[in-house]
Structure 1
Amino acid sequence: MPQQKAVIIGAGIAGIATAIRLAVKGYTVEVYEANSYPGGKLSQFEQDGYRFDAGPSLFTMPQYVDELFKLAGKNPADHFTYQKLDVVCKYFYEDSTRLSAYADTQQFAQEIESKTGEPAASVIKHLANSSDIYSITNHVFLERSLHKLKTYLRWDTVRSILRFPKIDPLRAMHKANQSNFKDKRIVQFFDRYATYNGSDPYQAPATLNVIPHLEHHFGAYFPYGGMYSIPQSLVKLAEELGVKFHYNYKVDEIVVINNKAKGIRAKGENILADVVVSNMDVWFTYNRLLGKYPKLHPQKILNQERSSSALIFYWGIKKHFPELDLHNIFFSADYRAEFGHIWKQQDIYNDPTVYLNISSKYKTDDAPEGCENWFVMINVPANNGQDWDKLIADARQHIIAKLSKILGEDIAPLIVCESILDPRSIESKTSSYKGSIYGTSSNNRFAAFLRHANKSSKVKGLYFCGGSVHPGGGIPLCLLSAKITADIIS
């Protein structure tokens, strides 16, 4: 019997991982990528002697990368290496409070108590609750399809359903955190985790309090080669398994005959396949690649609220700042106002929370000696036709003023080179509709059930992976989407 052939549209991290899993299962796999490089949002570039990881900068749950090497019968440590961070992130508040989020739970809790007066016991209790939410949701919501009956016939699913109230889906995340902590700074600290999937803590369900567990139990890590070494190592593994990657190869159409995906059309030719997997945002998959078939479009899903986007400044800084770490957060003085601007007013607050990543802290050749490569990001709304040129110019001034004030030095003259990524360029470079980073938002208590499935219900042989489908965005969830999709296919 001849091997079945799978075609994957897009070489994002989920597309690469799906290719590896299908190749291990015996499929002939070809990946078609519109860009000249793999990785999707997980890309890199160099400018004036500085190297920047252009996309995701936080690496958690490395076991999902290691698992791909193990499936191929290889020792992960021979192909991809990383180190665990002792300090996950440093936090800077407007009132001059500074916190180090230590990886060790007890040390972290004591740090909060000593700096804010919030009892360490409250922090430990909150993280224990986060662990409980993870244990209830992990095997049901994260590792299996929510759209197949057999998921709900398993005993561990039944046990999770019986514990459903424990995941706290009926309260907003902020409300839950407000009841758990007295200190407003710590409420803000834990509210921030809603941004990990592009949501609003004042609307999103408290179930998202599962996210701190991923950092403080599993830890945060830095790949020795930088974040881009993740797709690089996985592409090499895929190629060793026989996967073929076609770059600069834009797919124009998914070929459908009698409601069955028969392959793709690209560069004027039909490329036949038994299985088609789209790693492209589902909005563009339907509206660009299945535009001929409007009756196949799941309009309710495609019309859902999109997640937030990002505005990123990549700055070459001609100075070393010893008080900064790999990950740094500079909080807004008014979090509610900031999220109100993002979600209600669809613009950028004049005091945004600033995330600053400096990979040269760990990979010293990412910047010239005595210098640092700054990845400076703020959360912004998805692109709905705003005047981005004005918003970007204003935000740049506010960010520089904020960092200069807290660090005690004028940042502006230290910037020797600059590149910018905004919602418009995120959409054009990564086919993320409206520049939303995580597909649909989670500002709904049923959001986990409302994401697009990993398999088409109307087109046989058509599957989906990546951040716009179940279980969600971010590197770990994209890798899990690949696992779910490959399991459904096989």
Structure 2
Amino acid sequence: MSQKKIIIAGAGLGGLATALRLASKGFDVTILEKHHQAGGRLNMLEKDGFKFDLGPTFFSMSYEFDELVQSCGIDYPFEFIELEPLFTVNIDGIDQTFTIYKDLDKLSAQFELFEPDFKAKMEAHLLKTESLYNDTVNRIVHRNFNSLPDYLLQITKVPLKHTPLLFKTMWKELCDSFESKEARMVFSLVGFFLGATPFDTPAVFSLLNYVEMKHDGYHNVKGGMYKIVESLEKILKEKGVKFHYNTEITGAVYENSTLKSITDSSGKHWDADIFVINADAASFRGQILKRPKYSESKLNKKKWTMAPLTIYLGIKGKLDNLQHHNYFLGNNFDEYAKGVFKNRVSFQKPYYYVNVPSKNNPEYAPEGHESLFILCPSPDLRFKPDWNDREEIAQNIIEDLSRRSGYNLNEMIVSKTILSPEHWESMFNLYKGSGLGLAHDMNQIGWFRPSNKDEELKNLYYVGASTIPGTGLPMTVISSKLTTTRVLEDLNQKH
């Protein structure tokens, strides 16, 4: 078994984590990557003396990294920074900025003018979401499903008290927990972390409120998020894993039910015994394998996550009025959230997220400066194919942030980079610029999500975006475990 040759296409976190698990078992692993460096969306931008986390700027469920490290028998290669406060929320038209703490007493003080008996309501909400988490995480999240009956069987093992959550949205669940729109808005933001809105995210994902507020919180990494990638890449090279960058996969050669090789853009064939694809599991089936079920017309009908419009600013001066993570919302939350991803709202006053990575990692900016990252959740290229107005939208955001933060940012900017959904699609082969792959509705989770084992080719597997269990950094680490389990089980059956 240890002599099997494995090729992993894609050096995102899913590809790196799967490579680590398989290399630790003695397999001969090679990683092919389209980009000039590893990481996928978990990447770094360096420009004009500043550093920026390209995509993810924090994560939860840090214990999933514990499992990865322990199962592979390695020392922890990076150091976490736990965030407290977690983030701030500025709602236009409200003088107060909400600072969100895990400390329930500090948190309650933020809402005393808006939500009567907030502490009791939050305790009840967290107790409910904790129960949901404990009753589902091992039955649904940490499992492979071999058939639809297998999936349905596991669902029947989830206590009936959670059944109503299958038929309502995260927003409706929050409406049942809180009376004020302010509390509902703040604690629905976790839906955006899944690349969707609380109005179209199933209520079962309200368990993430428990994860963020009580179970684990949010974390950054000492030295920046890209330390995760650099550390894993170093360990993998020490284990003999080979990396080939600037290598984009454009085709596949298969015979009967076996994938023989994958082909890069130069025409080179890469052969192996086993292939693991760390590209979008749905679009790869359509664009590379040409499966009718995953044709462009079929993919366009699926629900995809938001597309990112990202702005990276090098700032001369310090930004003491901003925390590490900040959200800036308008006063038309329902209308905006329901329309933004289908390009039905104006970007004159967009909602956006602001990260100041140099707060926790001063080396991200020259002395006396800050690095500033802004993410504006946006419609993908199905709904907004032309982003020639990206400079105008970015300027709207910069002016709005200046007004609400108290800084004249236009006079402080010494470096600026803007990436539209078109850029994200091109850089990382994200379908229509969708930032996190397929969205999470009841028709696109569990068994109904594209499998991590190909339905036709017996030696082809998937990890990461648009496969099980879902999107986001910790889910990607879980995905690598589930995919590795599939590979090992299949090999054991052959022996």
TM-score, normalised to structure 1's length?
A: 0.92
Whichever residue aligns with residue 262 of structure 2, its letter is I
Shift of residue 286 of structure 1? 2.4
What is the match of residue 85 of structure 1? 83
What is the match of residue 130 of structure 1? 129
Instruction: Find the aligned partners of 2:471 and 2:103 in 1 and give their Cα distance.
Output: 26
| Greater displacement, 192-201 / 265-274 | 265-274
Work out whether 1:177 is the aligned partner of 2:174.
yes
Q: Deviations over 1:244-295 (max 9, x none)?
A: 111112223222111211232234333221111111113441244223x658
Whichever residue aligns with residue 48 of structure 1, its letter is D
Work out whether 1:278 is the aligned partner of 2:309.
no
Instruction: Find the aligned partners of 1:255 and 1:315 in 2 and give their Cα distance.
Output: 44
Unpaired stretches in structure 1, ≥5 consecutive residues: none
Instruction: Find the aligned partners of 2:315 and 2:135 in 1 and give their Cα distance.
Output: 44
| Greater displacement, 296-305 / 407-416 | 296-305
Instruction: Find the aligned partners of 1:124 and 1:296 in 2 and give their Cα distance.
Output: 44
Return closer, same or farther for 1:105/1:6 CA change in 2, 3 Å cut-off: farther
| Greater displacement, 408-417 / 190-199 | 408-417
Shift of residue 333 of structure 1? 1.3
Q: Equivalent of 1:199, from 196, 201, 215?
A: 196
Percent identity of equivalent pairs: 30
Instruction: Find the aligned partners of 1:446 and 1:284 in 2 and give their Cα distance.
Output: 17
Q: Is the 8 A contact 1:145 1:151 kept in 2?
A: no
Return closer, same or farther for 1:489/1:419 CA change in 2, 3 Å cut-off: same
Instruction: Find the aligned partners of 1:261 and 1:299 in 2 and give their Cα distance.
Output: 25
What is the match of residue 16 of structure 1? 16
Q: Is the 8 A contact 2:343 2:384 kept in 1?
A: no
What is the match of residue 269 of structure 1? 268
Q: Is the 8 A contact 2:308 2:420 kept in 1?
A: yes
Q: Is the 8 A contact 1:89 1:327 kept in 2?
A: yes
Q: Is the 8 A contact 2:104 2:119 kept in 1?
A: no
Work out whether 1:112 is the aligned partner of 2:111.
yes
Q: Is the 8 A contact 1:145 1:484 kept in 2?
A: yes
Q: Deviations over 1:284-332 (max 9, x none)?
A: 41244223x6588798567412111111110111121212111111112
Shift of residue 445 of structure 1? 3.2
Shift of residue 116 of structure 1? 5.2
Shift of residue 474 of structure 1? 0.9
Q: Equivalent of 2:250, from 235, 249, 252?
A: 252
Return closer, same or farther for 1:385/1:202 CA change in 2, 3 Å cut-off: closer
Return closer, same or farther for 1:448/1:229 CA change in 2, 3 Å cut-off: same
Q: Deviations over 1:205-244 (max 9, x none)?
A: 1112112222122111121010101111111222222221
What is the match of residue 393 of structure 2? 395
Residue-pair matches, total? 484
What is the match of residue 356 of structure 1? 354
Return closer, same or farther for 1:297/1:64 CA change in 2, 3 Å cut-off: same
Work out whether 1:188 is the aligned partner of 2:185.
yes
| Greater displacement, 401-410 / 110-119 | 110-119
Whichever residue aligns with residue 128 of structure 1, its letter is L
Return closer, same or farther for 1:469/1:255 CA change in 2, 3 Å cut-off: same
Work out whether 1:210 is the aligned partner of 2:199.
no
Whichever residue aligns with residue 321 of structure 2, its letter is E
Instruction: Find the aligned partners of 1:256 and 1:30 in 2 and give their Cα distance.
Output: 19
Instruction: Find the aligned partners of 2:226 and 2:17 in 1 and give their Cα distance.
Output: 15
Instruction: Find the aligned partners of 2:149 and 2:17 in 1 and give their Cα distance.
Output: 24
What is the match of residue 240 of structure 1? 238
Whichever residue aligns with residue 330 of structure 1, its letter is F
Q: Is the 8 A contact 1:113 1:120 kept in 2?
A: no
SS at match of 1:11: coil
Return closer, same or farther for 1:91/1:296 CA change in 2, 3 Å cut-off: closer
Q: Is the 8 A contact 1:18 1:483 kept in 2?
A: yes
What is the match of residue 27 of structure 1? 27
Instruction: Find the aligned partners of 2:296 and 2:158 in 1 and give their Cα distance.
Output: 29
Instruction: Find the aligned partners of 1:410 and 1:297 in 2 and give their Cα distance.
Output: 48
Q: Is the 8 A contact 2:53 2:224 kept in 1?
A: yes
Shift of residue 62 of structure 1? 2.1
Instruction: Find the aligned partners of 1:338 and 1:288 in 2 and give their Cα distance.
Output: 33
Whichever residue aligns with residue 434 of structure 2, its letter is S
Return closer, same or farther for 1:345/1:247 CA change in 2, 3 Å cut-off: closer
Instruction: Find the aligned partners of 1:374 and 1:380 in 2 and give their Cα distance.
Output: 19
SS at match of 1:31: strand
Whichever residue aligns with residue 268 of structure 1, its letter is G
Q: Is the 8 A contact 1:24 1:72 kept in 2?
A: yes
Shift of residue 408 of structure 1? 2.5
SS at match of 1:238: helix
| Greater displacement, 324-333 / 65-74 | 65-74
Q: Deviations over 1:62-85 (max 9, x none)?
A: 222233222232221xx2112211
What is the match of residue 460 of structure 2? 462
What is the match of residue 411 of structure 2? 413
Whichever residue aligns with residue 195 of structure 1, its letter is F
Q: Is the 8 A contact 2:341 2:380 kept in 1?
A: no
Q: Is the 8 A contact 2:45 2:52 kept in 1?
A: yes
Whichever residue aligns with residue 206 of structure 1, its letter is A
Root mean square deviation, CA, Å: 2.4
Instruction: Find the aligned partners of 2:303 and 2:443 in 1 and give their Cα distance.
Output: 13
Q: Is the 8 A contact 2:13 2:42 kept in 1?
A: yes
Return closer, same or farther for 1:54/1:418 CA change in 2, 3 Å cut-off: same
Q: Deviations over 1:42-63 (max 9, x none)?
A: 1112111111111111122222
Return closer, same or farther for 1:174/1:53 CA change in 2, 3 Å cut-off: same
